[in-house]
Amino acid sequence: MAETTTIGIIMNGVSGRMGYRQHLLRSILAIRDQGGVTLSDGSRVQVEPLLVGRSEAKLAELAARHGIENYTTDLDAALADDRWQIYSDFLVTKARVPAITKAIAAGKAIYTEKPTAESYEDALELARLAQSAGVKNGVVHDKLYLPGLRKLKRLIDSGFFGRILSVRGEFGYWVFEGDWQAAQRPSWNYRAEDGGGIVVDMFPHWSYVLENLFGRVESVYARAVTEIPQRVDENGDTYAATADDAAYAIFELAGGITAQLNSSWTTRVNRDELVEFQVDGTLGSAVVGLFGCKIQPRNATPKPVWNPDIADKHDYDADWIESPANDVFENGFKTQWEEFIRHVAEDGPNAFDFLAGARGVLLAEEGLRSSREGRRIELPEVTL
């Protein structure tokens, strides 16, 4: 029987929304339950989590609920202990840089949520520190692993689109203000001073989605706005919403593709999914969401004629063909965790490193600057 080794993973911020649901429950515990990650030689690496946070009581409760042996509020002691090879970070963005800096100094491999930092300077510094310390590093790129985007990648690779012309994306939904219905996102997201804002939250995603599917982001024009200036927090206290809650942006990509993406927590959904992208190419178009992917090839394109005097009875929705999955797509966070564990255990590939994270932070920073200055901003190539 193939041998099984164990890899110890420090999970910091595991009581939070992302830390608990996506990283602990759906990734690390799911990997533990399946008996670990299989390596290329057939051996297995089992995962052993160490829960880290500020509240001992919360950690103890989580550990008991999921049969986890180890938890601590002492991050420094955890970092000093060789049993734990990977440090992972799901803290609020504001708390991330100091924690990761310590983990780099301790020589841990590091896997983190995005954005890697609040400023591009800090994000680039983390990439430099990690490189000079020789520690492996990875950043969550979850959207690329969504079934809809994986089907889109397949279409691109197959040549379905011909020459891709443009990408149009809508992300968003109504986030309640918190007065008469509780908000469904943490209040720090709406305070700039606490690392909030939809640009800082979503542009790092748009950065890796665009560069991995279509081409390098060469410029950005964005208008970021705060549509709801006052919200009510988790304790029922009213606060000033100082961060942007909607952003309307145009990105120019290498190869001449234009991407227009709207990100909004102040819109009501009238589409099939909370995020949807339409890609138009010379030979075909596709509309993809988190799960779905429908296509319309050139040969099945209707020929509308503009006539505002006659109601158009054509059912445009019916012209699209649903693209099949032809595969089982697992939770994206879990799949990326497995890749990172292989990267640490056997030097498997890892494209999504701190430098990719820094490009995401740069896009957010320049997006906000574009909005402040009311102009298009060109983005430099990011190097260490």
Ligand X SMILES: NC(=O)c1ccc[n+]([C@@H]2O[C@H](COP(=O)([O-])OP(=O)(O)OC[C@H]3O[C@@H](n4cnc5c(N)ncnc54)[C@H](O)[C@@H]3O)[C@@H](O)[C@H]2O)c1
What is the number of other CB atoms lying within 10 angstroms of the CB of residue 93?
23
Q: Which stretch binds ligand X (CB under 6 A): 3-11, 13-21, 172-180, 264-272?
A: 13-21
186 binds ligand X, rule: CB under 6 A: yes
Distances (CA, A) of 207 to 6, 72, 365: 34, 35, 12
Measured CA to CA, the distance from residue 61 to residue 223 in angstroms comes to 43
192 binds ligand X, rule: CB under 6 A: no
Q: How many contiguous H segments (helices) and E segments (strands) does the chain have?
A: 10, 18
Site string (35-54) toward ligand X, x via CB under 6 A: ------------------xx
Q: Which of 118, 122, 142, 170 binds ligand X (CB under 6 A)?
A: 142
122 binds ligand X, rule: CB under 6 A: no
Coil, strand, or helix at residue 349?
coil
91 binds ligand X, rule: CB under 6 A: yes
DSSP conformation letters of 193-254 = GGT--HHHHHHHHHHHHHHHHT--EEEEEEEEE-S--EEE-TTS-EEE--S--EEEEEEEET
Least spacing, CB of residue 75 vs ligand X, in Å:
9
Measured CA to CA, the distance from residue 112 to residue 22 in angstroms comes to 12
Measured from the CB atom, the residue of 16 and 169 that comes closer to ligand X is 16
Residue 355 near residue 382, CB atoms below 8 Å: yes
15 binds ligand X, rule: CB under 6 A: yes
358 binds ligand X, rule: CB under 6 A: no
Measured from the CB atom, the residue of 24 and 164 that comes closer to ligand X is 24
Least spacing, CB of residue 54 vs ligand X, in Å:
6
Residue 286 near residue 214, CB atoms below 8 Å: no
17 binds ligand X, rule: CB under 6 A: yes
Q: How far is CA 36 from the centre of its chain?
A: 24
Q: Which of 71, 84, 90, 111 binds ligand X (CB under 6 A)?
A: 90
Q: Which stretch binds ligand X (CB under 6 A): 24-32, 41-49, 89-97, 237-245?
A: 89-97
Least spacing, CB of residue 53 vs ligand X, in Å:
6
Measured CA to CA, the distance from residue 90 to residue 18 in angstroms comes to 7
357 binds ligand X, rule: CB under 6 A: no
Least spacing, CB of residue 168 vs ligand X, in Å:
21
Least spacing, CB of residue 51 vs ligand X, in Å:
10
The DSSP bridge pattern shows strands 258-264 and 246-253 to be antiparallel
Least spacing, CB of residue 230 vs ligand X, in Å:
20
Least spacing, CB of residue 186 vs ligand X, in Å:
4
Q: Which of 10, 19, 213, 249 binds ligand X (CB under 6 A)?
A: 19
Helix axis angle, 198-213 to 354-373, nearest 10°: 120
Residue nearest to ligand X (CB): 16
289 binds ligand X, rule: CB under 6 A: no
DSSP conformation letters of 136-153 = -EEE--GGGGSHHHHHHH
The DSSP bridge pattern shows strands 275-281 and 164-172 to be antiparallel
Cis amide linkage into residue 308, ω under 30° from 0: no
92 binds ligand X, rule: CB under 6 A: yes
Measured from the CB atom, the residue of 90 and 161 that comes closer to ligand X is 90
What number of CA atoms fall less than 13 Å from residue 89's CA on the CB side? 31
Least spacing, CB of residue 261 vs ligand X, in Å:
15
How many residues bind ligand X, per CB under 6 A? 19
Measured from the CB atom, the residue of 23 and 136 that comes closer to ligand X is 23
Q: Which of 140, 243, 257, 361 binds ligand X (CB under 6 A)?
A: 140
Measured from the CB atom, the residue of 91 and 232 that comes closer to ligand X is 91
Q: Which stretch binds ligand X (CB under 6 A): 14-22, 32-40, 273-281, 292-300?
A: 14-22
The contacts of residue 228 (CB under 8 Å, 6+ apart) are 177, 190, 241, 245, 266
365 binds ligand X, rule: CB under 6 A: no
Residues that bind ligand X (CB under 6 A): 13, 15-19, 53-54, 90-93, 95, 113-114, 140, 142, 186, 201
